[in-house]
Amino acid sequence: MIKSHEKKIYVAGDTSLCEELISTLNRFKPIDCALLPVNEDNFFRRRRGIVGNMSIREAFGLAEELSINQVAPVHWDMFTINSTSQGEIDAVYNAYSWNFLLKKVEDLVL
């Protein structure tokens, strides 16, 4: 957690979602912004020996549960073999009525 100009920013790094993480982050609320990895773990990736993080839906669900204001997906385009697309991220965001703003890291308002 980073605090800057009275804003709290959560930088997840390589992270999988679990109840312990949610409980820990709840203690830091309110969180203004989160950088969350969305290169998901799944059966096919694990079978090829690829370690993933949260899925897009898990990251967005975490942001929703914690009432985070802005989310910037990260770790989704670092390696071709373990990536998703901006189009998929946008599609999941646009398919639901999330209560946060989806941002690119360079467009965050802090």
**How confident is the chain (110 residues) per 10-residue block, as mean pLDDT?**
88 93 96 94 86 92 97 83 87 97 87
Task: Report helix, strand or coil for 93.
Answer: helix
Q: According to the model, what pLDDT value does residue 84 have?
A: 86
Q: According to the model, what pLDDT value does residue 23 have?
A: 97
pTM: 0.89
Taken in order of first residue, the domains within the chain and their CATH numbers are: 2-105 (3.60.15.10)
CA gyration radius, the chain:
14
Residues 6+ apart with CB under 8 A from 39: 52, 53, 75, 76, 78, 79, 82, 83, 84
